[in-house]
Amino acid sequence: MRPQRVRLQYEAASLNPTAIVGCKVCRVPEGSTERYTRWINSLSPEQLLTQVYTSHGPTVIMPTWFCSRDWFEEVGLFDEGGKGVPEDLLFFYQSLRRGGHVMRVDECLLVYRYHEHAATHSVLEETIWNLRVHFLQERVLSQWESFTVWNAGKQGRRLYRSLSPTNQKKVKAFCDVDENKIQKGFYTYEESKERPKPRIPVLHFTNASPPFIVCVKLDMTEGVLEQNLRSLQLKEGLHYYHFS
């Protein structure tokens, strides 16, 4: 921990008593979890709220958290269920439900060491997935009458299958850049008990309409995804949210 950490985060928390205040981190060993570290250190103030649904988890990581005791007790303390419980994500989501804010002091105030036996590895991916889907439906999809899933591949189809029946009916299309998927014309939900089985169109992203839930991982397409989103002149948090 850097010597100025407590002072700087205390100052920020004093001005924002309902906020979880994080900071940038320096990773040890250098270069470990490079994409994740780049993400947590580069989010804009707006993205600290819009990107809370991704597989990365909280937009300020728990080792950096600083908040008032009053807010900590208002949110409801940590879930002490033990190994396999994502207590940071549960607390983070509950803080947002209570109207809490998320902030980051834009200095590297913590040395964050990676090791393969960290407790975070004991949490099942399916556990995290289910929490994320539930929170997405609660906070975003409940406000939309319809939407497009950006990715007609594995991740997009998995999200569709994980949605409640009400939200499945809101999916007006999948969109993609893969011509093979687009040429098929539609995705059939084979596991559905409905007859006829739901068939959702698959479109090129330029022919699809917002809002979108983007099920393509950030920083994994050499900038192509990000450029495609910019080309449509969309605003994150209004026209689309990242989920993967």
What confidence tens digit (pLDDT) does each residue in 134-165 have? 999 999 999 999 999 999 999 999 999 999 99
> Looking at residue 113, what is its pLDDT?
85
Domain coordinates in residue numbering, the chain? 5-126, 140-242
pTM of the model: 0.94
Q: Work out whether the CA dihedral 80, 82, 88, 94 comes out positive or negative.
A: negative
Cross-strand pairs, 149? 174, 213
Q: Is the pLDDT of residue 119 over 70?
A: no
**Main-chain dihedrals φ then ψ at residue 226, nearest 5 degrees:** -60, -40
Average pLDDT, the chain: 95
> Looking at residue 220, what is its pLDDT?
92
| Fold exhibited by the domain 140-242 | Rossmann fold (3.40.50)
Q: What confidence tens digit (pLDDT) does each residue in 49-59 have?
A: 999 999 999 99
Rounded distance between C-alpha atoms, residue 147 and residue 172, angstroms = 6
Q: What confidence tens digit (pLDDT) does each residue in 161-207 have?
A: 999 999 999 999 999 999 999 999 999 999 999 999 999 999 999 99
236 DSSP assignment: B
